Amino acid sequence: MNSYKAPLKDLSFIFNHLLDQEQLAQLPGLEDLGVDLYESILDEAGKFATNVLDPINASGDREGLKIADGVVTTPKGFKEAYAQYTQAGWNNISLELEFGGQGLPYILSTAVNEIMMSANKSFVMCSGLTIGAIEAISHAGSDELKQKYLPKLVSGEWGGTMNLTEPGAGSDVGALKTKAIDQGDGTYRIHGQKIFITFGEHDFTDNIIHLVLARLPDAPEGVRGISLFLVPKFMVNDDGSLGERNDLRCVSIEHKLGIHASPTCVMAYGDNEGAQGYLVGEKNKGLMAMFVMMNMARLTVGMEGVALTERSYQAALDYARERLQGVDAETGQSVAIIEHADVRRQLLQMKSNVEAMRALSLFIAQAQDISFRHADAEVCQHNQGLVDLLIPVFKAWATETALKTTTTGIQVHGGLGFIEETGVAQYLRDAVISVIYEGTTAIQAADLVGRKVVKDQGKNLGVLIGLMKQTLAQAEANADLADIAFELKYAIELLEQHSRAIAGQFMQSTKQALSVSVPYLMLTGLVTGAWQLAQSAVKASELLAAGDSNVNFLKGKIETARFYHKAVLPEIRGLAYTVSNTGSVITGFDNVYFGE
């Protein structure tokens, strides 16, 4: 079993040559930062991931979790690793300075997050949920709640969760039944059950702060009648010390396909007098507050796809270099399987996909930094529009791609990949849930088509395509990249054409448009990935022309982009045909045809 190594060289290339460091350095709070600092932090993150998190990843998967009398115990070494993780500040890199965060940019925390998740996805999920809770409280909570709860959430002394799903209310959040009863003193009593609550109970922290969606007795039906409540595991006294245990408990933990070291809990609120909670934001507007948490959570879930693809690729590459199988036709000598043509194809698929996804994730994070920090409101709005457009694309495309690439990683290992002892099956098992988390691929596709393409009349999509065309012009001006430019031009035209087509379908038949919205999203993801790799090829070519000594890496960048454009990107042709031709077939298929 190989050990994880952070992709520092690729991250350095992106930070130095794809991100707009000049603009980032002008943002308030980032003036004294630069690539040297970012690279130093990423180097330390890589060491932590390799030395602390990776060694307990496979063992944690095998050992799993224990629960007794509502108390969850995490695998050996996890609690101790969490203490080191928070002490080093890996949990609060981009959180606000006001409550103890480091105030560093999203581009940095996004890259660090990939590194940590590659090493141990189950472990990192705790701090990921806590960050989401912090963002929701910061956005919608009262000053009193912020002062009382945020410092210890930001420090990592306490954990946080998000509680949406119920046995009868999954994606249809508006059907939830959990009740909140106003006590008339600023508190509420919560009664209900929530399922699939990640790190709803654990032994990392002394207290867990649950954010719970519930309905007041006089609330309107559906999503317009949902409120958000902060419900602590232990009550917090005015001096910050912990008080009595709240009326909530972990009933059970799920037995899952993957992420065996991450507790997925069934939580019961108010079996007795009711769990005491506090309103976050306005009554009946809880879903809006929770979506602040969920939007950035979708970026994080997309990063899970990047992280597990990288981990699987590293394992496959190491194995392919070491495994002797077959002989060279000319020399008769045994060769490593990396010399076999189809193994090389599979490795290139993994490599090109992960580099495209990584570059896109950091482009989104950069836009997020600019939208949060820039002094010009118009610039902020412009960048937020790109974030809003790209998050559903990235989340779905990256996680769906991870399913393919982690399967490929098993295939490279042959029969040994199917055996748990080699470790590579874990990456596939851990990747499966990411497609479902924070909204399935279909939910992301419906968001993309209904809100991002139709509702805003493709405004932000037009901005994105404009950026793609700028890169296309640069590639067309470079004779060495003519074949990449040719494929990219066709892809952009196809995206424009089928964006208009699906918008037209949506206006005529919403159901028909949504029936092909996932193929449309995947088309968009593939083209966006091609744009990022074409940009990488342009920059690599420029550096080679300028005499950069890192020749093999830069040539590798160009050839990786070339492979993607010739071997991965052509999938858009089939997807485009599906978008144009199968909607009526799907909607016209009578349920009786499925059989009895």
Given a cut of 80, whether residue 321 has pLDDT beyond it is yes
Q: How far apart are CA 316 and CA 355, in angstroms?
A: 16
For residue 333, with 0-12 CB atoms within 10 Å meaning exposed, 13-18 middle and 19 or more buried, which class applies? exposed
DSSP of 90-104: TT-TTS-GGGT----
More confident of the two residues 475 and 457? 475
Within a domain: 423? no
How far apart are alpha carbons 481 and 402 in whole angstroms?
Answer: 28
Which tens digits make up the pLDDT trace of 356-409?
999 999 999 999 999 999 999 999 999 999 999 999 999 999 999 999 999 999
Among candidates 448, 434, 366, which has minimal Cα distance to 402?
Answer: 434
State the pLDDT at residue 534.
98
Burial of 109 by CB count in 10 Å (0-12 exposed, 13-18 middle, 19+ buried)?
buried
Pair of tokens at residue 79: 């609690």
322 CB-contact burial (10 Å; exposed 0-12 / middle 13-18 / buried 19+): exposed
Q: Of the ranges 71-85, 119-133, 209-223, 289-303, which one carries the lowest mean pLDDT score?
A: 289-303
Total count of domains within the chain: 1
Q: Domain for residue 505, yes or no? A: yes
Phi, psi of 107 (to 5 degrees): -60, -35
Q: Where are the beta strands (DSSP E) in 262-362?
A: 264-269, 275-280, 324-327, 334-336
In this structure, is residue 131 part of a structural domain?
Answer: no
Question: Is 160 a member of any domain?
Answer: no
DSSP states of 118-183: HH-HHHHHHHHHHHHHHHHHHHH--HHHHHHHHHHHHHTSEEEEEE--BTTBSS-GGG---EEEE-
* Those residues with Cβ within 8 angstroms of residue 91's Cβ, 6 or more apart along the chain or in another chain: 85, 127, 130, 131, 156
The pLDDT score that the predictor gives to residue 222 is 87
- Across the strands, what pairs with 264? 198
Give the pLDDT of residue 204. Answer: 98
pLDDT in tens, 134-151: 999 999 999 999 999 999
Would residue 3 be called left, alpha or beta, if left means φ above 0 and alpha means ψ between -120 and 50 degrees? beta
- Distance (Å, rounded) from C-alpha 194 to C-alpha 199? 13
Nearest-angstrom CA–CA distance, 134 and 141: 10
Judged against a pLDDT cut of 80, whether residue 322 lies above it is answered with yes
CA distance 538 to 544: 10
Within a domain: 347: no
How long a stretch of residues is the chain? 596
Confidence of residue 503 (pLDDT cuts 50, 70, 90): very high
Question: Which pLDDT band holds residue 287 (cuts at 50, 70, 90)?
Answer: confident
Kindly give the interhelix angle for 482-508 and 571-581, rounded to the nearest 10 degrees.
Answer: 20
The DSSP letter of residue 448 is: I
Give the global pTM: 0.96
- Burial of 144 per CB tally in 10 Å (0-12, 13-18, 19+): exposed
Decide the pairing of beta strands 248-253 and 264-269: antiparallel
The predicted pLDDT at position 36 comes to: 95
324, part of any domain: no
Domain of residue 470: give its range.
441-590
User: Cβ distance 415 to 472 under 8 Å?
Assistant: no
Answer whether residue 445 is part of any domain: yes
The pLDDT of residue 589: 94
Query: Angle 78-87/121-140 helices, nearest 10 degrees?
Result: 50
In DSSP notation, 584-596 reads HHHHTS-GGGG--
> What span, in angstroms and rounded, lies between the C-alpha atoms of 432 and 415?
21
Two structure tokens written together for 224: 């317009």
Hey, what are 358's tokens?
């990584």
N-to-C CA span, the chain: 47
Average pLDDT, the chain: 96
Question: What average pLDDT does range 316-329 have in this prediction?
Answer: 92
Judged on CB neighbours under 10 Å (0-12, 13-18, 19+), 556 is middle
User: At CB < 8 A and 24+ separation, what contacts does 451-460 make?
Assistant: 452/388, 452/389, 452/392, 453/499, 453/502, 453/503, 453/506, 454/503, 454/506, 454/507, 456/385, 458/499, 458/500, 458/503, 459/385, 460/385, 460/386, 460/388, 460/389
Q: Is residue 163 part of a domain?
A: no
Name the amino acid, one letter, at 444: Q
370 SS3 class: helix
Q: Is 582 helix (H, G, I), strand (E, B) or coil?
A: coil
Residue 240 CA to chain centroid, in angstroms?
A: 33
pLDDT above 90 for 292 = no
- Residue 192 confidence (pLDDT) above 80: yes
Alpha-carbon span 365 to 359, nearest angstrom: 10
Buried residues in 463-474 as b, exposed as e (16+ CB within 10 A): ebbeebeebbeb
Q: What is the pLDDT of residues 223-274, one digit of tens each?
A: 889 999 999 999 999 999 999 999 999 999 999 999 999 999 999 999 999 9
Cα–Cα dist 180/280, whole Å: 12
Question: Does the pLDDT value for residue 294 go beyond 80?
Answer: no
Q: Which residues, other chains included, contact 193 with Cβ-Cβ below 8 Å and sequence gap of 6+? A: 166, 167, 178, 251, 266, 267, 268, 269
Q: Where are the alpha helices (DSSP H) in 414-516?
A: 424-432, 441-447, 459-476, 482-508, 510-515
Catalytic residues: 438
